[in-house]
Structure 1
Amino acid sequence: MGKTKINWLSSPVDNDYISAERYLSLLFKPRKCRKLLQKLRAAPMSEYPAKDILRASRTAMSEVAAFDWSHHQCRSGSGLTFGHGL
């Protein structure tokens, strides 16, 4: 079985920021949340290996293996396309 090419979106979509705002609102007061979201929108894109992101999030690998990834993928003509997922 060949390796599937993954095509990342060139920039975050509005839903990514909405999700980030929802998460941040659980951690911070509304004013702080708005300021963080403004900084997030202005920040340049960056890329990290998935293993580093998972390690930083303290996500157990058993949770990642059990996750149903099929709901977070969409096929394009040249492979799988994923959103950035803030």
Structure 2
Amino acid sequence: MSKIEKHSSHPQISARLKRANGHLTAVIDMIAEGRPCAEIAQQLHAVEKAVTNAKRALIHDHIDHCLEPGDSGEIVDTKSFKDITRYL
């Protein structure tokens, strides 16, 4: 079983994602209502940006708090670093 890690930024990231989820639900409703495609695309872009920003905040938090530099300043856990950066 893997260790559950919770950082101080996780509640804020979760709140961002909940807002994005609500926004996405609104976009789905816009489609059902037959709203203009340009309006839908604009709102989808906003949802995409919100999710991207939440992901970026999570990755930066992981780098700041989970990857500690060694004595020479290099990252000791290079596998973990590579694992997380593939999502950038």
> Fold match, TM over 0.5?
no
Higher relative contact order (CA 8 A, sep 6+): 1
Give the TM-score, by structure 1 length: 0.27
Q: Which has the higher strand share?
A: 1
| TM-score normalised by L of structure 2 | 0.26
Q: Which has the larger radius of gyration?
A: 2
